[in-house]
Chain A
Amino acid sequence: MNFTSFYFALFFIGVFAAYWAFGKRLAPYVLFLANVFFCLTFKASVIFIAADAALVWAAALLAHKAKHKRLVYGGAIALLCVTPLAFFKYSAALCGFFADSFNIGISLVPALEKIAVPVGISYFCFKCISYLADCAKGSLAPCPGFVKLFNSLAFFPEQLSGPITRPAQRLAQLESMPLFSCELAVKGCGRILYGMLLKQCIAEGLAPAAGFLLTPELALNYSMLIALFAYSVQIFADFAGYSQMAIGLSNLLGFETPENFISPYFSKSIKEFWRRWHISLSSFLKDYIYIPLGGSRCGRLRKYFNLIITFLISGIWHGASLGFAVWGLLHGAYQCLSDLTLNLRTKIKAALHINDKNAFYKVFQCLIVFFIVTLLWLPFTVPSWQQLSAVFQKLFAPSAFTLQHLKECFTIIGLKPANLMQLALFTAPVFYIEFASRKTGFGQWFSAQKSIVKIIIMYFCLLCVMFFGALSGGNSIYFKF
């Protein structure tokens, strides 16, 4: 049941009506039932999520009374959060690796592959880690009520693909169940429609072209470049769209949720990119990995080491493949390189009389970051080195640069003039909205608009989705992570 399905719409209308109709006292129970029901639609997930949430709840309460609090909390994090996450995500791949390399444990592999990975396990486990770690630090008191904690850890709009709202933040909101706010609800509707535009029109519209990265043999040389840029836009539109919908749904239930994407492709450096892309994950990694490792407080070399490790973990989190690890490493390495060359670049800029505030220079910086990020998506999306090499071979295959050839390169990956026109219809307003909201994020920008502008934006999104949106919008790309 994904957000764009008809059944989800029916489900949410029911939840919305019951949640606000039953009043503050019963609303947590309505939310609890909704969370369980949503989990149930993914069958096996509910057993794991409910059991793990109960253990986390009990562990936090027990650890709080224990003599060696930090030790017990640490054990709970390792046992209840990291172990299941590692087991579900990596056991099959690891056993496969050992089976292939050393001929050990072959019989285990098919059995492990059959185990259904609970949907949204990463997001759930990250929230559990955050909850237990905050309790261990003493910045959060263990939650006495299981229903409340479950509502925070398994909040259904965030179950599938995040964002990872910190339990500390959500529990505070759940403490005094929110009152209905018309302004927040309108913002939520705007977010949902904008998210649908991103997901159904742009991401799904670009998906066939981006898919050619996996079948380079069927495309021409420049087609690969076009497919790569298509993928770069697709993954943003897909994930940001899903996040907008998730935040919008939580807004309709009266909850404020921080932005997860703030116009990341308008970043002027990779560092800034990571402050704007999947913000809830980036800040989670920063707070629970980078800073505990020492952050930037223990000298330059250690800082770079911490950066590389954090990004490596971020890469590995996406999956047990070398490509993800390389992607993470490259992002980490690029940040270190950027930091190392900061003085040199400042001197060059001074020598060339380049003003940081110059608009052209800013555009140039954004383009450079966009190109680097786009290029780095290659190891992220192409599953094997053979395929990656095939993509590069195709990319650098010699051919004449003629208009006719360029047209063929677009056409062969399904981007015919009519499709391009249609994509331009969606992309141009989205580009404007992303640009206009680059400082505050969509929510705040949208709220600041006049009513008529809000109505126009919402109608535009709704009509685009109705008339041109993909009919069978699948799950988010990040669903599998």
Chain B
Amino acid sequence: MKRFLKALVLFLLPVALLCGLCFFALIKSGELQPLETAVNISQNPDVLYGLAYRNDAESYKLAMAQKKSAQLMVIGTSRSMQLGQELFLQNSFYNAGGAAPKIEYFEYFLQSLPKAALPKKLIIVLDQNFFNPVWDSHDTKPQISANKINTVPFLQRFIQDIARGKINFAKIFSASPSQLGLSAIINGSGYAFDGSYVYGTMQTNPNYNTDKDFAETLAKINQGKQRFEYGSEVCPVCISTIKALTGFCSENGIQLVGIIPPYAPSVWQKMNESGNYLYIPKIYSELSPLFEEKGFELYDYTDFSLSNDEEYIDGYHGSDKTYCRIMLDMLPKTKILAKEIKPDLQSLLGGGSPHELS
């Protein structure tokens, strides 16, 4: 038995050393940091919070929004994350994009904030697929809780990422304390201090783009899946959910601005021509009376011709420039955000990069 155990220990020693090194690197990367620590570190203005192995956007954004008590806030999915502080005059700003993966989460998120932390002005980004009854059956209640840190599976994924050439130990061990998580350290992508999302290498290096020529998005459209399910009518449950939300905002003195976000022009053209998304043009007409009733504003940028395909990260995620153009377009129309949007946004649109603001 002793001989076997000795041989086993010797055999496993190099593997154990490798696992130990990986575990240490994983700890160093901040990937295993509990949410409270991450939120405390995120008070640093230089922070970049980008986890690779778990998505705790909802709980992170909620905790950050509670701490920040911003006057102007953005809530939505990943399609709202490019609305950054640099577009607004208001310094008390936080983008809680990613906190509302479904329509029920908007009100739930606001109700989860203490009264004092509720914003004065709120921008909600309403993804079109929210209103497709085929996409969501609304049978689950919203819930925001921190994801479990599963050390063993994370370690396994880390080791496999080494084999795929995704891990750079030098970068991990030389990362600044304000870079939290492997995505932040390796790709430079994650949530910035204002809650907006920095795409990092995916934005600057087109080879990292997973949706080259929108092939993946177009495949989803062809197959009618993953947010591109076909539908012809607007879901009535969603309309009543928005009605409740506008009611909540009105009661709590929150001025609400709704934005229906853009698709890349060629993607929208394909969707429109397919005739499979008849519910989308109906969203605005169904929602606008609800917004008008309370004195709120709603803007539909589904078909946004002021931006071109090049300015999109993928088929349905506009870049910083796309959202800057949206704000520019809104500036003369909006009353609620008239004093919030920077008047000189045009100057940010210069520069060579199709995605980044100058």
Contact = CB atoms under 8 A, between A and B. Distances in A.
A105 to B, nearest CB: 31
Contacts of B4: 180, 182, 185-186
Contact of A462 (B1, B3, B15, B153): B15
B7 A471 contact: no
Nearest to B3: A182
A6 B152 contact: yes
B159 interface: yes
A469 B7 CA distance: 24
Interface in A48-76: none
A25 to B, nearest CB: 17
Given A182-B3, A182-B4, A467 B159 contact: yes
A466 B8 contact: no
Contacts, number: 33
A471 B160 contact: yes
B8 A189 contact: yes
Interface string B156-175: 11011011000000000000
Interface string B1-20: 10110011001000100000
A445 interface: no
A468 interface: yes
A33 interface: no
B216 to A, nearest CB: 13
A477 interface: no
Nearest to A459: B11
Contact of B15 (A180, A182, A218, A466): A466
Interface in B38-76: none
B15 A471 contact: no
Q: Output the residue of A185, A459, A469 with the most chain B CB within 10 A.
A: A185
B3 to A, nearest CB: 5
A7 to B, nearest CB: 9
A88 interface: no
A471 B153 contact: yes
A102 B160 CA distance: 55
Contacts of A185: 4
Nearest to A466: B159
A173 to B, nearest CB: 19
Interface residues of B, number: 16
Q: Output the residue of A6, A185, A466, A469 with the most chain B CB within 10 A.
A: A466
B215 to A, nearest CB: 11
A189 B11 CA distance: 11
B163 A458 contact: no
A6 B152 CA distance: 8
Given A20-B1, A180-B1, A462-B15, A467 B7 contact: no
B163 A471 contact: no
A26 interface: no
Given A180-B4, A186-B4, A471 B11 contact: no
Nearest to A458: B11
A405 B23 CA distance: 44
A455 interface: yes
Q: Output the residue of A182, A189, A455 with the most chain B CB within 10 A.
A: A182
Contacts of A469: 160
A20 B1 CA distance: 9
Contacts of B1: 20, 180, 182
Contact of B7 (A20, A186, A472): A186
Interface string A167-182: 0000000000000101
Q: Output the residue of A180, A455, A467, A468 with the most chain B CB within 10 A.
A: A467
Given A6-B152, A20-B1, A468 B160 contact: yes
Contacts of A20: 1
B212 to A, nearest CB: 14
Contacts of A189: 8
Interface string B183-226: 00000000000000000000000000000000000000001000
Interface in A166-218: 180, 182, 185-186, 189, 218
Nearest to B6: A182
Interface in A445-462: 455, 458-459, 462
A455 B3 CA distance: 15
B11 A467 contact: no
Nearest to A422: B163
Contacts of A459: 11
A412 to B, nearest CB: 10
Nearest to B8: A189
Contacts of A471: 153, 156-157, 160
Contacts of A472: 153
A472 B153 CA distance: 9
A467 B15 contact: no
A180 B159 CA distance: 34
Contacts of A468: 160, 163
A180 B3 CA distance: 11
B160 A455 contact: no
A472 B150 CA distance: 13
B334 to A, nearest CB: 45
A218 B224 CA distance: 12
Given A186-B7, A467-B163, 16 more contacts: A180-B4, A182-B1, A182-B3, A185-B4, A189-B8, A455-B11, A462-B15, A466-B156, A466-B159, A466-B160, A467-B160, A467-B162, A471-B156, A471-B157, A471-B160, A472-B153
Interface of A: 6, 20, 180, 182, 185-186, 189, 218, 455, 458-459, 462, 466-469, 471-472
24 contacts: A20-B1, A180-B1, A182-B1, A182-B4, A185-B4, A186-B4, A455-B11, A458-B11, A459-B11, A462-B15, A466-B15, A466-B160, A467-B159, A467-B160, A467-B162, A467-B163, A468-B160, A468-B163, A469-B160, A471-B153, A471-B156, A471-B157, A471-B160, A472-B153
Complex A-B, nearest 7 residue pairs according to Cβ-Cβ distance, in ascending order: A467-B163, A182-B4, A6-B152, A180-B1, A185-B4, A182-B3, A471-B156
